[in-house]
Amino acid sequence: MNFAATLRIALLALRINKLRSALTMLGIIIGVAAVIVMIAVGNGAQARVEDQIKSLGSNIIMVLSGSAMSGGARGGSGSQPTITEDDAYALNREVEEIQAAAPALRGNGQVVMGNTNWSTSFYGTTPEYLEVREWPVIEGRGFEQAELNGAGKVVLVGQTVAKNLFGDASPIDQVVRVNKVPLTVIGLLDRKGQNMMGQDQDDILLMPISTARKRVLGSSRFASGRSVGSIMVKVKDGANMPEAEARMRELLRQRHRLQNGQDDDFFVRNLQEILAAQEASSKVMSLLLAAVASVSLLVGGIGIMNIMLVSVTERTREIGLRMAVGARGRDILTQFLVEAVTLSLIGGAIGILLGSGGAILVANLAGWRTELSVASIVLAAGFAGGIGVFFGYYPAKKASRLSPIEALRYE
């Protein structure tokens, strides 16, 4: 008997028992849909982490000021100003793995434009900051060396600040007051979105570090001298990050005249390692979600095996009759395998449609980011077909080994 005839007989048997076939497919439908939704949720979480990595810039290392001791209590990082602008310039010059290093002073203040105001954070920094953060200016320009040298009254604004102060109007050449100091907006930064802590990176102002120090910070401890709160470093593509970090530590220890055995008076944070750990966690979560969802596929496969065993018992006389008129054992085996695989594939197709719709629904109702992938759909469909073969083989093999005489006598 050829395969086409076997397929027709198998489909006819499934059509005769429509309700049973539908209930048998239900486990596969739910399993495939669950796998697709869970993988889409996991992929969405992974994509979000990747976006956070891109928003921070690639190959970033942060140097933070050290901690101070007061009455036996040790403050956190940055409680004692121990790094300077000159440290940043030395890192730029003397560590060959470094592409750019930008010192930064951070402050908070009220930004006023006419009758509108907005509370935000501002950073005093150098032009290298935009290169380190891979943060383009989409309108206007960045500040220049002359403005850095002369504490120019200029500022770059983030998207959130621009939206709240200027609405849809262009902010370029507008004058805003930051802590009562008038500054001219010369550039609008591209959108960055949230960082890994959920903070809005676009709610920010950037100004020359000399402007922040001499004009805006007022009585802050950073208002005089050369101390800074942090240095952001971008390592060259292809350079060894641990080696770059080690050379940075060595140079800073030399500059700060630290002896062997003395602790560093600064902190170094490799953002790539932190984000890589978070990305690894999201991958583990994706695999865990997919594994949990796959359990329902196994349940569906067991359902197929049970129904096929019942079907073999009910159709024993039919099997005996077919064998009596010339059907071989492998024809019977193929027929029942085709029935099992057909149930799995039809259930898988319906599950793919429901899973895709479910992923979209989760994204719209729950607000979670989901990403459907062709690989997850192919995996779910392949798994469904594999379950049909695996769980359908035993009932099919049992049917093919029936004795024609005993099958014809079966009541």
pLDDT string in tens for the chain (411-residue length) = 566 766 776 677 777 777 777 877 888 888 888 888 888 887 787 777 666 665 666 688 889 887 654 444 444 554 577 899 999 999 999 999 999 999 999 988 899 998 899 999 999 999 999 999 889 999 999 988 899 999 999 999 999 999 999 998 999 999 999 988 999 999 999 998 877 666 788 999 999 999 999 888 865 666 567 889 899 999 988 888 889 989 999 999 999 998 888 888 888 888 666 666 666 766 777 677 667 767 777 777 787 788 778 777 777 777 777 777 777 777 778 777 888 888 888 888 888 899 888 888 888 887 777 878 787 788 777 877 788 788 888 888 887 777 766 656 655
Please give the DSSP secondary-structure letter assigned to residue 315.
T
Q: Which of 154, 134, 136 is nearest to 146 (CA)?
A: 154
pLDDT score, position 71:
46
Assigned token pair, 7: 């397929």
Q: Which residues are CB-neighbours of 65 under 8 A, at least 6 positions away? A: 77, 78, 79, 80, 81, 82, 83, 227, 228, 229, 230, 266, 267
Q: Residue 268 burial by CB count (10 A; 0-12/13-18/19+): exposed, middle or buried?
A: middle
Gap between the Cα atoms of 276 and 253, Å rounded: 27
pLDDT score, position 69:
46
Gap between the Cα atoms of 149 and 138, Å rounded: 24
Helix (H, G, I), strand (E, B) or coil at 193: coil
pLDDT score, position 70:
46
Position of tokens 């359990």? 295
Segments making up each domain of the chain, as ranges: 3-50+277-409, 81-264
| Bridge partner residues of 107 (DSSP) | 122
Gap between the Cα atoms of 18 and 11, Å rounded: 11
199: left (phi over 0), alpha (psi -120 to 50) or beta: beta
| Bridge partner residues of 139 (DSSP) | 188
- Give kind and range of the element (H or E) at residue 152: none
pLDDT score, position 52:
63
